[in-house]
Structure 1
């Protein structure tokens, strides 16, 4: 990755809908150059500004499911789950028969239906272990490339707050359609969104400001892990002594390599995933994690070899974005 590409992606990770002129003042390159660079990265599937409803803030509606498949059935099970809107992300582990599905549902009943009816009925699934989220401390939209220094990052514009005259509530269908369009491409101009949705440009600006300000919708700039120089993706499911769970979870959320941290109810009481520079540092990382607790931590790792789907976007075998996007429904 070139330094210029890394700086642009980091800037977009911190300010996903900043204008090219605003980014130009920080990155010291012309708006046209920045726009063309981003289009090159986006069209090649390396990086993309996307978003998703913030179901991570809804306890019991988010679950991480370890799905063990019969030998030879992993591809078929994965292909089926890719089409499931509530399967936000799918990660294939190094075992060759297991995948981890991040499920996000609009309500308890929907999640229960997927866990108790949909998954058990799929041919080829041998066993399912479910970790239901009870709290979330860090999500992937907080992870960044760390290519800008603190002074540069501070110059990036914060999201604009809603206007005083902006509507406080949104029509449910308009809200759903807008989030689906932003989920596919969160840098789509307000004018294009207005034409697509049949509303005024001002209404789009107001709605986006409201959704982002109230954290109903999370914007993020995602990058292919291999291209990011942190190619080793590992999920961990940990059993932490209850008295230390909050302390350990908070400490983990401060680690820059870690993308998600959350407490859970299930076989493990803490789930987190991390991107590392290489496999040789994995044991050093685990030693650091273990040192966070006074009593012992039981760690179980799942090394990820492929991610067929991330935040609703279908990825190719190289982990790059394709044109296919399956909106999260009902959130």
Structure 2
């Protein structure tokens, strides 16, 4: 099923805008699909797809990431959502410091009683707590912090989909994803490839080959293997507020344990949900959604509370600006600026 088009395509005709979203949806399913294969699926010319992808990249409205999960067993990575309060007039200075930190995956401006919302990682609860206390709260201008430890992530960027392909088209794209014929363990050689692809999953094989110093055929086989292993992930991100979505909203929910699995199933199936995670606190479930306009938040809440009247909305936030997303730094207009990397 094709998702409804965002209101008011920001550039070009409706037809071209829809093609952009179809290309993005396909690359989310197979980030290295050849334009020739995709052209046959979408019934367009390969040069058209190449040209439109290049335009989106050049306009800094789309970027990609490749990373490994989980970390080595010796590093049991833990995550936390952190609210920060900033002294008046100091927010941008604090953002500039935070975006350079490799342990901080995402930096978001928010509404309500906090100024910033971060996603932070570290190897273990003690290390995570220490990093937040020793590094983040010590930044000049930070006046307060509140930490929500993450129990589990039910859906995040790699799992969310734009959904602008028909079921048949999505099936055809998925059939182009390589399927490993054997179990492939994580190794340094594969981690080298992931490092080379970290800031651009569609980087040409020849560029990766020059960086890792192996043969073109070895690199090509290695990249193909990475697309099918369970410990490698990719993200295809967009500057959503330049692609038809006005804002991002976060709902903090309190859900009784017997209903949790059913609520999670519903939240993760909502259109354009970007994140769903269980956390420890008064609110124990968090959902993040892209919206075409602010009124859409009311519709999201109505659907949820109609299905689950006992679920309480503890808080709701609007995220008007993203400063960093999964290691990529965005400028003041929400466009891609540069890649910092992840740790």
TM-score of the two chains, using structure 2 as the length reference? 0.86
- CA shift for structure 1 position 26: 0.7
| 1:73 aligned to which of 53, 71, 90 | 90
Give the gaps of 5 or more residues in structure 2: 1-8, 10-16
- Which position in structure 2 is the counterpart of 1:214? 229
Rate the CA distance shift 1:225–1:169 in 2: closer, same or farther, 3 A.
closer
| 1:311 aligned to which of 296, 318, 326 | 326
Per mean C-alpha deviation after superposition, the further-off stretch among 47-56 and 112-121 is 47-56
Deviations 1:180-209 (A, max 9, x none): 332210101223211111122343344434
- Which position in structure 2 is the counterpart of 1:99? 116
* Residue 57 (structure 2) pairs with residue 42 (structure 1): yes
* Residue 158 (structure 2) pairs with residue 141 (structure 1): yes
- Equivalent residues, number: 324
Give the gaps of 5 or more residues in structure 1: none
Secondary structure in 2 aligned to 1:141?
coil
* Residue 271 (structure 2) pairs with residue 256 (structure 1): yes
- 1:1-331 map, 5 Å: 1=9, 2-54=17-69, 61-95=78-112, 98-156=115-173, 157-162=175-180, 164=182, 168-171=185-188, 174-322=189-337, 324-329=338-343
Secondary structure in 1 aligned to 2:245?
coil
Rate the CA distance shift 1:225–1:194 in 2: closer, same or farther, 3 A.
same
Q: Distance in 2 between matches of 1:299 and 1:123?
A: 30
- CA shift for structure 1 position 60: 6.2
Q: Distance in 2 between matches of 1:96 and 1:131?
A: 15
TM-score of the two chains, using structure 1 as the length reference? 0.89
Over aligned residue pairs, what C-alpha RMSD do you find? 2.4
Check conservation: 1:17, 1:187, Cα contact below 8 A.
yes
Deviations 1:129-163 (A, max 9, x none): 22222122111223333322111111113421335
Deviations 1:248-267 (A, max 9, x none): 11211111221111111234
- CA shift for structure 1 position 35: 1.5
Q: Distance in 2 between matches of 1:119 and 1:229?
A: 33
- CA shift for structure 1 position 65: 1.1
- CA shift for structure 1 position 82: 0.3
Q: Distance in 2 between matches of 1:159 and 1:277?
A: 31
Q: Distance in 2 between matches of 1:66 and 1:205?
A: 42
